[in-house]
């Protein structure tokens, strides 16, 4: 959706390393924004983005207009049911229909051999993978939907175009989201009951000045099924919370290789 940062540029570099030619789409897709969301406020800086992509050696910047994507009479919607009934799907009704529909259109317009998406939007990635399988999307590559690990600021905050909505003090507080998630994952790995860990995580996030938590859940990485008792499953901790004008999301694997954090949730 543009307003490019190092997270996006990492996707581009990863694509350049794997492909002869790289296309990037930039389209702020009205269909994936709810009525009270930030469609109008969303940053748009196509000229600057275009220069950045040229600097990365991108071959094609595909930036269609809304009228070209959704001409009069447009009537089709792609729904990936089930996976869209949890997490962001519950808090942003219709969002993933908008995502799936536009991504299918972009695939058909660009016809890539494969496509890269950020793990920052973990549920989005799961939904796009499901759609590609369910609709037999004919990519030449077997693993055509490539996930790229989340790129973070030095203090751990996941890079996002929406971080620019944060005031300096909100930005300083926002770091707690990821720090608390790392501590929570450490506690899960040490065998603390999931419910207690999540309660501590929620309290730490609210203490840091977040106004609202949409969810803070431990879920199975692929199916997104809720995990209430962690016994070594392939799990992901996923959080969405509101800080000022920015609704921030983050997710991390419950990974035994993760460095132990010195703090606890209670002392954060």
Ligand X SMILES: Nc1ncnc2c1ncn2[C@@H]1O[C@H](COP(=O)(O)OP(=O)(O)OP(=O)(O)O)[C@@H](O)[C@H]1O
Ligand Y SMILES: CC(C)(CO)[C@@H](O)C(=O)[O-]
Distance of closest approach, residue 124 Cβ to ligand BAL, in angstroms:
6
x/- binding map, residues 112-141, to ligand BAL, per CB under 6 A? ---------x--x-----------------
CB of 230 to ligand Y, least distance (A): 28
Q: Under 8 Å CB-to-CB from 152, ≥6 apart: which residues?
A: 158, 159, 178
Q: Which long-range contacts (CB under 8 A, 24 or more apart) does 100-109 make?
A: 100/127, 100/128, 100/131, 101/31, 101/76, 101/77, 102/27, 102/29, 102/31, 102/32, 102/69, 103/128, 103/131, 104/78, 104/131, 104/135, 104/137, 105/69, 106/25, 106/27, 106/62, 107/137, 109/62, 109/64
Side-chain-facing half-sphere of 137: CA atoms under 13 Å: 25
Instruction: Note whether 102 binds ligand Y by CB under 6 A.
Output: yes
Q: Is 75 marked within a binding site?
A: no
User: Is 87 annotated to bind ligand?
Assistant: no
121 binds ligand Y (CB under 6 A): yes
Q: How many other β-carbons are positioned within 10 Å of the β-carbon of residue 173?
A: 18
Size of the site for ligand BAL (CB under 6 A): 3
**Interface with ligand Y by CB under 6 A: which range of 37-45, 96-104, 186-194, 252-260?**
96-104
The tokens describing 29, both together, are 């897709």
Q: Residue 120, annotated ligand binder?
A: yes
161 near ligand Y, judged by CB under 6 A: no
For the CB of residue 200, give the shortest distance to ligand X in the complex, in Å.
25
CB 255 to ligand BAL: min, Å = 23
Helix (H) or strand (E) holding 148: strand 145-148
91 flagged as catalytic:
no
Q: Which residues pair with 246 in a beta bridge?
A: 243
Site string for ligand X, 92-121 (x = CB under 6 A): -------------------------xx-xx
- The residue number whose beta carbon is nearest to ligand Y equals 29
6 is in an annotated binding site: yes
Q: How far is the CB of 137 from ligand BAL (least distance, A)?
A: 20
What tokens appear for 86 in the block?
């949890």
What is d(CA 4, CA 26) in angstroms, rounded to the nearest whole number?
Answer: 9
Q: With binding defined as CB under 6 A, does residue 170 bind ligand BAL? A: no
C-alpha to C-alpha distances, 122 to 81, 100, 248, 263, nearest whole angstrom: 16, 14, 13, 26
Q: Give the Cα separation of 90 and 22 in Å (integer).
A: 34
Name the residues that contact ligand Y, by CB under 6 A: 1, 29, 32, 99, 102-103, 121, 124
Name the residues that contact ligand X, by CB under 6 A: 1, 7-8, 10-11, 117-118, 120-121, 148, 150-151, 158-162
- Among all residues, which ones are annotated catalytic? 8
Query: What are the binding residues for ATP?
Result: 1-8, 118-121, 151, 159-162
Name the residues that contact ligand BAL, by CB under 6 A: 32, 121, 124
């Amino acid at each position: 959706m543009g307003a490019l940062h190092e997270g996006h540029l990492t996707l581009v570099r990863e694509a350049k390393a794997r492909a002869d030619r790289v296309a990037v789409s930039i389209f702020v897709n009205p269909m994936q924004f709810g009525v009270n969301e930030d469609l109008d406020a969303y940053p748009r800086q196509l000229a600057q983005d275009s220069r950045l992509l040229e600097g990365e050696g991108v071959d094609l910047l595909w930036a269609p207009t809304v009228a070209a994507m959704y001409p009069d009479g447009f009537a089709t919607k792609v729904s990936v049911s089930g996976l869209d009934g949890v997490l962001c799907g519950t808090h942003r009704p219709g969002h993933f229909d908008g995502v799936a529909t536009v991504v299918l259109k972009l695939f058909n317009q660009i016809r890539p051999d494969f496509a890269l998406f950020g793990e920052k939007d973990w549920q989005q990635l799961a939904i796009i993978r499901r759609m590609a399988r369910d609709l037999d999307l004919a990519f030449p590559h077997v693993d055509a939907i490539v996930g790229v690990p989340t790129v973070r600021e030095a203090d751990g905050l996941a890079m996002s175009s929406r971080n620019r909505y944060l005031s300096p003090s909100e930005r300083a507080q926002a770091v707690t989201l990821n720090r608390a998630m790392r501590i929570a994952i450490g506690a899960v790995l040490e065998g603390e009951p999931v419910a207690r860990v999540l309660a501590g995580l929620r309290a730490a996030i609210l203490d840091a000045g977040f106004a609202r938590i949409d969810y803070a859940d431990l879920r199975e990485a692929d199916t997104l099924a809720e995990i209430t008792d962690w016994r070594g499953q392939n799990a992901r901790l996923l959080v969405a919370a509101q800080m000022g004008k920015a609704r921030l999301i983050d997710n991390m694997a419950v990974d035994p290789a993760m460095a132990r954090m010195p703090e606890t949730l209670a002392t954060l």
